[in-house]
Structure 1
Amino acid sequence: MTSNTVITTILNKLDSLTPKGQIIGNYITQHPTKAVFMTIKELADACKTSEATVIRFIDSCGYKGYSDFQQNLKGFLDTGLSLLERGDLQGINKPGMNRLNNVVLDELSNLQHLYETIDIKKLEGVVNTISENSTVFVTGSRLSYTFSYFLGWSLSRIRKGVYTIKGSDTTSIDLLANAPEKSLVIMIATTRYPNELIKLARFIRREGHTLLLITDNNMCPILQFAQHFLQVPINSIAYIGNTSNMMCTLKYIVQEIASRQGEALEEHQKKLEQVYLENDILFNLQA
C-alpha cells in the first residue's frame, strides 16, 4: 500500500463502495487529522454507522486491518503536514495543558510501539550488513543529521572505517565519488524529507555504492534508491520530530555490532583511549 497515499486509494475506490462505505471514505478524506487518532468505534460513531461497516470499508480498500490503515494514514499525514498543522495537532496554542505529562506519555507509547512492531529480521539484517562492510559512510540532513552523527560517532568507537558526512554538504559527493567501490552508505532520513538527501541517494545508487536507509516512514521517497531498508516504527505525529525510537534503535545496532567484534573491539578501544590520553582530549580527574 505504499505506492499510493491513503487518500488516493480511498478516492479511487469511492465510486465502487456501498453508500455507508462512501460516507466513511468521505469523512476520512475530509478530516484525516481527526480520523488518524480514532478507534474503530469512534470512526463508526462519527459516520453514524457500525464497527463492522468500518472493518469492511478498511478491507475493501486493501489494508490488512485497522492498524495497517492507521499507520498508512499517519505516514501520509506525517510526510505532508506543515509546522503550523503539527502545532494544531499537538495543541501548542492551547493554555493550561500538562505538556510534560503529554510528552512523556507520548514517548512511552512510541517506545512500546517500537518494541512490539519493529521488524526483527530487518533489524538483524542491518547489523549484518554494517558488520560485513569495511568502509561505512553515515549521512543525514537537518534533524536526521543528529541521528547520523550519533550513529557515525558511536560506530567509530567500536570499529575502524566509519566516516560521518553531511547530506547538506556538496563535498559529500566528492567524498563518495572517491570512496572505495561498493562502499556502504547508511542514510538516516526522517519526515519531512530534504531534497538534498533524495539527490544524494540518487548519486549513491548511480555510483554503485550500497545504500542502507533507516527511516521513520514507509512513504519515504528515498526508498526507491535503497538496497537495504529499515523502518523505525513510530505511533504518533510529532510536533518537531520524534527522537526516542530512532535513538533506541541506533543504540541497539551499535551495541549488537560491538558484541560481535571479539578481541578487535578491545584492541580498537585501547588504541582510542591511548590517543585521548596522549592528546589530552578528554577531562581526566587523575591529571
Structure 2
Amino acid sequence: MEYYVKSVVPIIESNYDNFTTVEKNIADYFIQNYKKMDFSAKAVAERLFVSEASLSRFAKKCGYRGYREFVYQYEETFVEKQETITGNTRMVLNAYQELLNKTYSLVDEAQIARITKYLNEAERVFVCGKGSSGLTASEMEIRFMRIGVDIDSLQDSDLIRMQAVFQDKKSMVFGISISGEKEEVLYLLREAKKRGARTVLITAKNKDIFGEFCSEVVLLPSLKHLNHGNLISPQFPILVMLDIIYSYYVEQDKYEKEVLHDNTLRALEEGRTKRRDMFE
C-alpha cells in the first residue's frame, strides 16, 4: 500500500466551482476516468466535443502553463500496484490510500513553512469550525496547547462572531471549512484580517475571493469523487493536514517543544494519581 503519486485530480476538484460549463465537462471526464488511453489534445477534444482551446483554458485554470503540462502530470497517476488483501478491508484501506495520494498532490511545503513562521510570531491563536470541522478545531487546540501555543478553539456561532472584535496584528486565526461556505468561519477570518491578524483557511474549495481576507488558503482533498468516499470520516483529511503543520512546527525548537509536551503529560499523570489517592 506504500505508493504516493502526484495527481492532478485534487487540484481539479478544488478549482471545480471556478470552471465554466464546458470546463466542468472536461473536469468530470478527468476525475471519473480510471483508464490509460490517448490523452492528446486532439483525441480528448474529439471525445468530449470541445475545442483544443477549451482544454488549454481548463489546464491554465488548474494552475498549469498549458494542456501539455497538465496531461503529462495526469498520466503520471497511472501506476501499477498489487493488491494483497480483499473485501471491505481492501476497500477502506484503498480509499484512505487514495486520500493520502490526494493530500500529497495538494500539500505545499513552502506554504506550510510560512504558516509555522506565523505561528511562531503570533501571541494568540484561534481556530474555529462548525460540526466535524469544529471537532478538529478542538483537536488542534489540545495538540498545540501542549507544546506551548496560546490557542483557543471556537465552535459556537455567536462566540466565533464575537471573537472577531478582539483580533489584532498579534493574533493568528485558523478557519476550518471543507465547503468553504460556513458563514461564521468566513466572517471571523474577514474581520480578523481587517484588524491586521494573520488568517489561514483550511478548505477543499479554492475560490478567488478567499485571497481578499486569507493570508493562506490550505487546500484539502475532496471526498466527493473519492472511490467509496462515504467510508471516510470528513475529519480525516483535516487531521492529516494539521499533522503536517504540527510536524513542521515541532521541528522548530524541537527540544524545547518536546520538553513542554512531556511536562504536560507529567502534569496530567500527577492529576490522575491524586484522584486515585483520594478514592483509595
Q: Secondary structure of 1:214's match?
A: strand
- CA separation of 1:60 and 1:184: change in aligned 2, threshold 3 A: closer
What amino acid sits opposite 2:246 in the alignment? Answer: V
The aligned counterpart of 1:95 is: none
Q: Are 1:114 and 1:234, in contact at CA under 8 Å, matched by a contact in 2?
A: no
What amino acid sits opposite 2:127 in the alignment? Answer: V
**Structure 1 position 171 matched with structure 2 position 156:** no
Q: How does 1:147-158 map to 2 (within 5 A)?
A: 147-158=136-147
**Structure 1 position 247 matched with structure 2 position 239:** yes
What amino acid sits opposite 2:257 in the alignment? Answer: L
Equivalents in 2 of 1:281, 1:148: separation in Å?
29
Shift of 1:270: 4.8
What amino acid sits opposite 1:273 in the alignment? Answer: L
Match among 131, 149, 152 for residue 120 of structure 2: 131
- CA separation of 1:161 and 1:129: change in aligned 2, threshold 3 A: same
Shift of 1:104: 2.3
1:67-102 Cα distance to aligned partner (Å, 9 max, x none): 969xxxxxxxxxxxxxxxxxxxxxxxxxxxx65533
Equivalents in 2 of 1:220, 1:242: separation in Å?
24
Q: How does 1:1-287 map to 2 (within 5 A)?
A: 5-8=18-21, 10=22, 28=25, 36-38=31-33, 41=37, 49=46, 57-61=54-58, 63=60, 64=64, 65=67, 100-166=89-155, 168-179=156-167, 181-191=169-179, 193-219=181-207, 222-234=210-222, 237=225, 238-239=229-230, 242-280=234-272
Equivalents in 1 of 2:196, 2:144: separation in Å?
23
Shift of 1:145: 1.4
- CA separation of 1:250 and 1:282: change in aligned 2, threshold 3 A: farther
The runs of 5 or more residues in structure 2 that have no matched partner are 1-11, 72-86
Structure 1 window deviating more from structure 2 (150-159 vs 217-226): it is: 217-226
Structure 1 window deviating more from structure 2 (177-186 vs 235-244): it is: 235-244
State the Cα RMSD in Å: 4.1
Q: Are 1:135 and 1:180, in contact at CA under 8 Å, matched by a contact in 2?
A: no
Shift of 1:183: 0.6
Shift of 1:134: 2.3
What amino acid sits opposite 1:38 in the alignment? Answer: N
- CA separation of 1:191 and 1:172: change in aligned 2, threshold 3 A: closer
Shift of 1:190: 0.6
**TM-score with structure 2 length normalisation?**
0.66
- CA separation of 1:53 and 1:221: change in aligned 2, threshold 3 A: closer
Shift of 1:200: 2.5
1:158-184 Cα distance to aligned partner (Å, 9 max, x none): 113111122x43123333423565310
Q: Secondary structure of 2:157's match?
A: coil
The aligned counterpart of 1:87 is: none
Equivalents in 2 of 1:173, 1:281: separation in Å?
40
Q: Are 1:276 and 1:282, in contact at CA under 8 Å, matched by a contact in 2?
A: no
Shift of 1:185: 0.6
Equivalents in 1 of 2:169, 2:56: separation in Å?
46
Equivalents in 2 of 1:41, 1:218: separation in Å?
29
User: What percentage of residue pairs aligned between the two structures are identical?
Assistant: 14
Q: Secondary structure of 1:158's match?
A: coil
Shift of 1:246: 2.7
Equivalents in 2 of 1:221, 1:241: separation in Å?
28
Shift of 1:226: 0.6
The runs of 5 or more residues in structure 1 that have no matched partner are 11-24, 70-97
What amino acid sits opposite 1:216 in the alignment? Answer: A
What amino acid sits opposite 1:197 in the alignment? Answer: V
**TM-score with structure 1 length normalisation?**
0.65
